[in-house]
């Protein structure tokens, strides 16, 4: 019997589904209540238990995360298998990104301020997707879902990934981190859905931010560290970009007294584009948990294995 600790919160019907699995002794615990004693003889953990606790569990063989991001587990013991929930978040987060793009492109956020002033001012011209170029920096589940949606709506879409091995039919051309500056200055919308790695930290410093097209839109839903916060604040004070939509920040959470909160055309959400705010996301995560646990018990290959050195 494999001892499994489940720390992602689930409703009773989902618990029943897992409790019916033969050969698995499953305990459900609230993550904040887990102690070292709870980890005794545990072989599998489902959910994002802190690394400090994981490393006290000598019997642990596999941890399945409920997040796509896995960078905070890079120091997990080499022999412990790490899998993530990649594939669960693309639908919901790409829709959030789409909303951000239209909010800025069509001046919708600015018209809220116009309404508050009981004004009837026309803020002027807006762009359309049919003449827009979109750059998706990161072409995993999230970036690819966004690229598909933008292509379907008529935009000219470009992608950036670590290495170019194929070009999907919804992308005009693929670039790598090394040569993305060739296309960056042409793009009207630039979206970041990157994991945190040595290669992506501070990828968008002041120099690269200023390579963006003046008046472009920047959206970040990956990790806040992909952008140098002080550099973004500097260029946004100049209104260099028409909008910066940040669902992630560096640091995170952003301190309450940070000037970026009140910077014109900067729109900050508290890392909510993913999580379990959309029921479809939660359902997909639970299905990944179930399928992978069945694979583990049947000694089949696991899905979504994370390379700890790369962080994804």
Which residues participate in catalysis according to the annotation? 223, 252, 271
Per DSSP bridges, beta strands 189-192 and 243-246 are unpaired
Enumerate helices (H) and strands (E) in the chain, giving the number of each: 8, 12
Extended beta strands in 67-148, E state:
81-83, 133-137
Question: Length of the chain in residues, anyone?
Answer: 312
- Cβ within 8 Å of residue 148, ≥6 positions away: 94, 168, 170
Q: What are phi and psi of 112, to 5 degrees?
A: -65, -40
Contact call for residues 68 and 89 (beta carbons, < 8 A):
yes
**Euclidean distance between the first and the last CA atom of the chain, given in angstroms as a whole number:** 30
Contact call for residues 69 and 196 (beta carbons, < 8 A):
yes
Helix (H, G, I), strand (E, B) or coil at 16: helix
**Which H, E and C letters describe 263-294, residue by residue?**
CCCEEECCCCCCCCCCHHHHHHHHHHHHHHHH
């Amino acid at each position: 019997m494999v001892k499994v600790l489940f720390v992602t919160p689930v409703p009773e019907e989902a618990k029943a589904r897992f409790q019916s699995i033969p050969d698995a002794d499953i305990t459900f615990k609230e993550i904040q209540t887990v102690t070292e004693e709870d980890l005794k003889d545990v072989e599998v953990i489902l959910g994002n238990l802190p690394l400090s606790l994981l490393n006290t569990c000598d019997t642990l063989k596999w941890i399945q995360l409920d997040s796509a991001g896995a960078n905070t587990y890079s120091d997990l013991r080499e022999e412990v298998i790490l899998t993530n929930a990649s594939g669960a978040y693309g639908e919901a987060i790409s829709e959030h990104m789409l909303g951000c793009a239209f909010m800025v492109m069509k001046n919708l956020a600015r018209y809220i301020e116009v309404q508050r002033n009981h004004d009837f001012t026309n803020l002027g011209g807006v762009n359309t997707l049919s003449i827009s170029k979109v750059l998706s920096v990161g072409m995993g589940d999230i970036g690819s879902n966004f690229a598909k949606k933008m292509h379907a709506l008529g935009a000219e879409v470009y992608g950036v990934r670590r290495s170019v091995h194929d070009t999907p039919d919804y992308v005009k051309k693929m670039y790598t981190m090394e040569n993305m500056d060739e296309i960056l200055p042409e793009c009207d919308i630039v979206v970041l859905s990157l994991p945190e790695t040595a290669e992506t930290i501070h990828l968008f410093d002041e120099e690269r931010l200023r390579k963006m097209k003046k008046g472009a839109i920047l959206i970040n839903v990956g990790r806040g560290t992909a952008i140098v916060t002080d550099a973004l604040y500097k260029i946004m004070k100049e209104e260099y970009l028409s909008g910066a939509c940040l669902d992630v920040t560096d640091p995170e959470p952003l301190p309450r007294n940070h000037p970026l909160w009140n910077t014109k055309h900067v729109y900050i959400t508290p890392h909510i584009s993913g999580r379990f705010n959309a029921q479809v996301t939660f359902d997909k995560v639970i299905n990944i948990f179930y399928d992978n646990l069945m694979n583990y018990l049947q000694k089949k290959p696991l899905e979504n294995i994370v390379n700890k050195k790369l962080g994804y």
